[in-house]
Structure 1
Amino acid sequence: MISTTDSHYYSLDIDTDFKKVPLTTIGLQVFPRSGKQYGFLYKLTKGQDFNTFPRLQMMRFKHDPKIAQRIFDEFHGGKDLFPDDILMNHWKACNRDKLVLSNRTVLANQVNNPGSSVDDLTHELENLGYEIRDYIPTFTKDELKEYYAAIKKGFWNEFCSRIYIPGDNGSILNALKSLPSDKRYKWAFEEGIPYTIDYNQGVVLKKFASCLK
């Protein structure tokens, strides 16, 4: 049976996008999905409706289940676009019975949205069905073993090999690749080493120190 489906697309303008509008590439992150999907991020203000943007167009097309199944199979059941992510798997495992968020997550969100208070964000999330708890998310021993096993299989080098740094002569990328041998960060790459974090190092750590400590 062939049905009709509506889809939406955003018409890029190379001359203005990324310069005059808050549109950016997601870029490669420690989360595999963005590197697989090559997505874009459009930063909206609170209450702004993306569906009203004039350059967001709707296209109606016929949906054939046989073609959809073929594409689904070609992407190996969607795994190519939504690969296993240890953080997502951990979050799903923690939320089997109820949607739970750490209050540290709310605080981190408030740091990025200084116009909203922690109480406002908490009430908004609770209205959406989330329960906010006072706890620090931690990985289980099995999850950490899975992570360190991936490191031993070359995860870090493979991750770095897909990073493009504009204007870099190779020194920045080489510095990233050498992090596992830096004694300050060995705990992140080798099992059994107590972690140490200097929250005065780097802009991001300073910004989110109150959420991470």
Structure 2
Amino acid sequence: MSKKFGLDQVAVRLVKEAPLLSDEEISSPEDAVRILGDAFQDYDREVVGVVNLRSDNVPINMTIISMGTLNQSLVHPREVLKAAFLSNAASILLFHNHPSGSLEPSKDDIAITGRMQQLCMLAGVPVVDHIILGGNQSYYSFREKKILPMEQIHYSVDLNDVDLKVAEKEAENYGYKKTEKKSIKKSLEENRKKIASSQKSSGVKRKQETLIE
């Protein structure tokens, strides 16, 4: 009897947590920022989150994607987009707090905003704004300061412009270790050899069993 090998099938779902409550209706990004300002003004470390928006800019939900140190937080594109996809968001609003109270964006804040704008645009879920939250409901809006949108994305139409090594470099920037490269062709050839070897071994074994009988 042949042995069966399975490929696990999985499903990812959103899990609701305790909501941020407000006496006023939250029907715009500005409403969400006011609520977020109240909720995160007392944090002693940087917290990064995303507000997922409908096509009419009404907030669907919000999620915390990173909690860092006093003045730094790590933001990964996968975490930014995960809840957005599951929420069927049309766009997103990035936000994070500055425990120091200063609203001036750091170089990292600007770099992350530019990176997220490009990646999210490619994913079809554009970043409408990046908000830095301060104390007493003060905030800094990248869009209001006309920093967003940043550099526009240009899509390649020539095969010579496509360089997949760029993805490899980006992966290394996020801490992924470089592993042995195997092409699909090489993997298929190795699998064929394993199957052929297994079949050959099985044939010899069956032959030996027949001789014994």
TM tier relative to shorter chain: under 0.3
Hey, which of these two has a bigger chunk of helix by percent?
A: 1
Q: TM-score, normalised by structure 1?
A: 0.20
Q: TM-score, normalised by structure 2?
A: 0.20
